[in-house]
Amino acid sequence: MEGSPGIGGRSGSDGSRAPPKIPPAMEELQSRLQETLDLLSSQELRSFRDHLKKVEPRVSQVKLELEGRSPSGLARLLAKQYYPPAAAKRVLVQVLEQLPRADLLPRWQSAAADGPVIPRKIPKRSYDCVEGELDRYDLSGRRKAFLMCVKRNRLGAHQDVLLMEDWLGQCQFENTLCIDPDKMELLGEITSFRDGLNEIKDDIGCCLVALMSHGEEGFIKMKDGEKVSLEGIFEMFNNKNCPALQEKPKIFIIQACRGERRDSGVETDDEPMDSDDGSEKRRLPTFSDYFIIYPTQADHVALRDPRTGSVMIKAMTDVFKQYGNKWHIADFFTKVNNRVVHREFNLRNEPVKVSLVMESTLTKFVYF
């Protein structure tokens, strides 16, 4: 007997049952959902599904397992479960806030209650385009930070400390604070910090050292003007002196001048080596897995606002508040640099420009 049109669809010419027709608005919603889900890493997609189980009305565990394993399948499931678009909008905002993926929220928060808006295209992050899991550092161990700041004669330095402590807390670091030390106090405290890492070698995931003071190329200055070699501090944490950090990321944030030069900017017109892999014992370079960020170029001044603190530290915390921990640390500081480079500053009524400088011997990606 021939079939007749009905809710279940129409029969094809060969007698098979055609799939039900999807309303255009639901089809558009599904497309938008998939566009958002495609921007999530595999780990974020798993977290998305976990958070979704707690949102009312809940998607059944069985449906999530059967239909929601891939971005396309999950988008299709959500479009059916939470149609019309206003309901989907509410659910997406709730779940994205939990990940956190604040960068994806505007496309849903700005949607009208009676239908979606055309979203701005957001490019995929580079690691989303790589098959399989990322080769990234395992940061499941303890994250230890050493934060030194000379406040004396540095208006705004107190704000730097507050901003850094807040940022480190959000990145799950245990923080050791060192304020206004002289040379011997700094060397003593940072040596004690390093030795503490070596005592809990197997429990360490990452180390971060932030040094904020006056400085010059290759040196940071203490409260009494005494100079401490940055190279000497970096060396304290190398693979020989700090075996606890072998093949683990060592992040150095240096907020200090590197000289007296000022860059006033310019007006624009808008325009294989041989290797021996046969050795029985694996070796590491003495210096590896370092990431060092400077607030300015060599021999140049760094900038600090008496009210809001240092330009780099303020930009760091602003970017983190907006985007969370979605980026590898080098990409994160590239975004910070973009903000710093495109801001206008004046020093003694003359224009001055700064650009951050990154040095890296990292061998994997760092995601806090």
How many Å separate Cα 90 from the centre of its chain?
26
The rounded distance, in Å, linking the Cα atoms of 314 and 305 is 10
Q: How many CB atoms lie within 10 A of CB 56?
A: 6
The rounded distance, in Å, linking the Cα atoms of 100 and 172 is 15
- The residue from 149, 214, 242, 300 that is catalytic is 214
Does the active-site annotation cover 214? yes
Nearest Cα to 299, choosing from 254, 262, 255, 268?
262
Q: How many CB atoms lie within 10 A of CB 49?
A: 17
The rounded distance, in Å, linking the Cα atoms of 165 and 177 is 9
- The residue from 149, 207, 257, 300 that is catalytic is 257
Nearest Cα to 350, choosing from 217, 261, 244?
261
The rounded distance, in Å, linking the Cα atoms of 360 and 349 is 35
85-119 exposure pattern, b = at least 16 Cβ within 10 A, e = fewer: beebbebbeebbeebebebbeebbeebeeeebeeb
The DSSP 8-state label assigned to residue 9 in this structure reads: B
Does the active-site annotation cover 328? no
The rounded distance, in Å, linking the Cα atoms of 273 and 74 is 46
Cβ within 8 Å of residue 245, ≥6 positions away = 197, 204, 207, 237, 239, 289
- Which residues are part of the catalytic machinery? 214, 257
